[in-house]
Amino acid sequence: MGPRPHVVIVGAGFGGIGAAHALRRADVDVTLVDANNYHLFQPLLYQVAIAGLDADDIAYPVRAIIRTPRRRRRGAPGNVAFRLGRVSAIEPGNRQIIFADGGTLVYDHLVLAAGAVTNTFGVPGADTNALGMKTLRDALAIRSALLRRFEQAAADVAAGRPLVTGSLRVAIVGGGPTGVELAGGLQELIVRVLRRDFPTLPFDEAGITLIEATDRVLGTFTPRLTTKAARMLERMGVELALGTGVAGIDPGAVVLADGRRIEAGSIIWAAGIKAGPLAAASGLPLGRGGRIAVDEHLQVPGHPEIFVVGDVAATLDGNGNGGVLPQVAQVAIQGGRYAGRAIAATVAAPTGPPPAPFRYKDKGSMATIGRHAAVSQFPNGLSLSGPIGWAAWLGLHLVYLIGFRNRLNVLVNWTWNYVTYDHASRLIDGDM
C-alpha cells in the first residue's frame, strides 16, 4: 500500500484552519503552512490597537490547534503537521510550492488560503505616511504610535513647548466595519482613559476624524443602521468627513479630494484590502480584484487538485451575474470547511460523484461602536442596535475565538474594562 495523499494548506487563517479541521479524520497527511506560528482572530484586531486586549489574547499557536486531542492521542500523532515558512510561488505543473528560503513542498492536493493585505488603491503617501490595520504588528504599531504622541505632548507641555497642530488627533481613512470600530474604540480610549492619564494636556485638541469616500459609514448595512451608527459615533465625539475621497496623505495630514486638509498626529488606513501577493505569484488565472479565479467547487479551472478559499479567492456569489463574495471571515470559514470535506470525499471515493457546488450561507454582519453601541443585521431581515446589538456582538466573538484560555482572557479583560472604564493594555511596544 503506497503513501497516503499529501494535502498542503497555505495559510493558518480562518479558511486554512477550517480546511485542516475538516481533514482531521481523512485518510491523508496534511501540512499546514504559514509565515506566522499563530492563528490570528482578526475581528478583534482593533481591540489590540485600542489597548483593550493583549496581542496573545487574539492569537493562538497553530501547533496547539492542530495537535491530536488528548482523548484520541494514545501516543500516535495526528494527520496534520505544521510548517513555518513564507510561500513565494507555486508550480502547479510540478505540484509543489516554493518557500521564500528556496525550500519546496510537494502536494497531491493544495488548499490556498493565503489571505489578504492592505489595499491603499495607489493613493500618494498612503503606504509611507499611514498605518495599516491588517496584522498583529499593525495593531501594536497603532497603539504605540498613539501613546507615543500623548507622551511626547506631555513632555512638551511640561517643558513649556507648544504642541504641534493636530498632534493629538487621529485620522482614520475608511468607514467600513474596521474603521468604525477603530474610531469608536479609540475615542473611548482618549475620553475615558487617556484624559485621566494625562491631566495636563489640552483634550479639546484631541479626538478622532473618520473619513469615508461615500456618503455614509458601513455601506454594506441597511441605510437605517448606517444612520444609527453615524449618530452613535457623533454622540461619542467622533468627527465624520463623508462624501469625499482622499487625494493624498502627507506626514501629519490627510489631503481630501475637495482640497481640505485634516491635520493628525496618527493616520490609520482602513479603507480596503486586496488578495495577498501569492495570488499574482501563483501563475494561476486571476479574477476580479486580482483574486484567483475559481469555479463553483472552489477549484482552479484546469487544476482540480487546487482549491482556493477566503480572501485570496474570487468566489462567485451564485447570483449568475459574475459577482464575487466579500472578503470576510465567514466566507473563508465556510470555504475552508467545504474544501476539506471535498478533498476527504475524493480520497475516500476517487471515482465517486463530485461534491455539490459551494453555497455560501450569509449569517449577517455586525459592527461595534462603543459601550452599549453596536449594529447587527441578519439575512432574515432582523436587525439589532444599541445595547442588544452590543451584547450580541460580544457573545458571538467569544464563541468564535479559538482556545479556552483566549476566551477566558478576553472575557476577563472586557469585564475589567467595563467595570473600571479602563484599558489595561496601554503599553508602548518597541524602542522610543
Quote the domain boundaries for residue 30: 6-118+274-348
* Same-domain pairing of 111 and 132: no
* Same-domain pairing of 208 and 320: no
Output the domain CATH number for residue 169.
3.50.50.100
Is 432 among the domain residues?
no
Q: Which residue bears the cell 525550500?
A: 103
Is 425 among the domain residues?
no
* Same-domain pairing of 113 and 130: no
* Same-domain pairing of 217 and 178: yes
What is the model's pLDDT at position 432? 44
Q: Which of 253, 271, 289 is the last residue of a domain?
A: 271
* Same-domain pairing of 172 and 239: yes
181: annotated active-site residue: yes
Distance CA 308, CA 90 (A): 13
Determine whether 128 is exposed, middle or buried from the number of CB atoms within 10 Å of its CB (0-12, 13-18, 19+).
exposed
- The answer to whether residues 48 and 143 touch, using CB atoms and an 8 Å cutoff, is yes
Is 223 among the domain residues?
yes
* Same-domain pairing of 106 and 206: no
* Same-domain pairing of 314 and 410: no
* Same-domain pairing of 147 and 254: yes
Q: Which of 249, 271, 293 is the last residue of a domain?
A: 271
Output the domain CATH number for residue 103.
3.50.50.60
Number of domains in the chain: 3
Q: Can you say how many angstroms the Cα of residue 146 is from the centroid of all Cα atoms in its chain?
A: 20
For 193, the grid coordinates are 482613559
Distance CA 333, CA 13 (A): 9
* Same-domain pairing of 256 and 150: yes
Is 354 among the domain residues?
no
* Same-domain pairing of 71 and 134: no
Q: Which of 151, 181, 234, 239 is catalytic?
A: 181
Is 300 among the domain residues?
yes
Is 353 among the domain residues?
no
What is the model's pLDDT at position 289? 83
Q: Which of 319, 348, 377 is the last residue of a domain?
A: 348
> How far apart, in Å, are the Cα atoms of 34 and each of 63, 154, 180, 309?
11, 41, 29, 15
What is the reported pTM? 0.93
> How far apart, in Å, are the Cα atoms of 129 and each of 135, 247, 266?
17, 13, 9
pLDDT 10s digits, 371-391? 999 999 998 888 999 999 999
Dihedral (Cα; 289, 290, 296, 299), 10-degree rounding: -160
Is 189 among the domain residues?
yes
- The answer to whether residues 80 and 20 touch, using CB atoms and an 8 Å cutoff, is yes
Q: Can you say how many angstroms the Cα of residue 137 is from the centroid of all Cα atoms in its chain?
A: 12
- In our burial notation (b when 16+ CB lie closer than 10 A, e otherwise), range 64-85 reads ebbeeeeeeeeeeebbbebbeb
- The ranges of the chain with pLDDT < 70 are 1-2, 68-77, 430-432
Distance CA 170, CA 270 (A): 13
Is 331 among the domain residues?
yes
* Same-domain pairing of 339 and 398: no
* Same-domain pairing of 138 and 262: yes
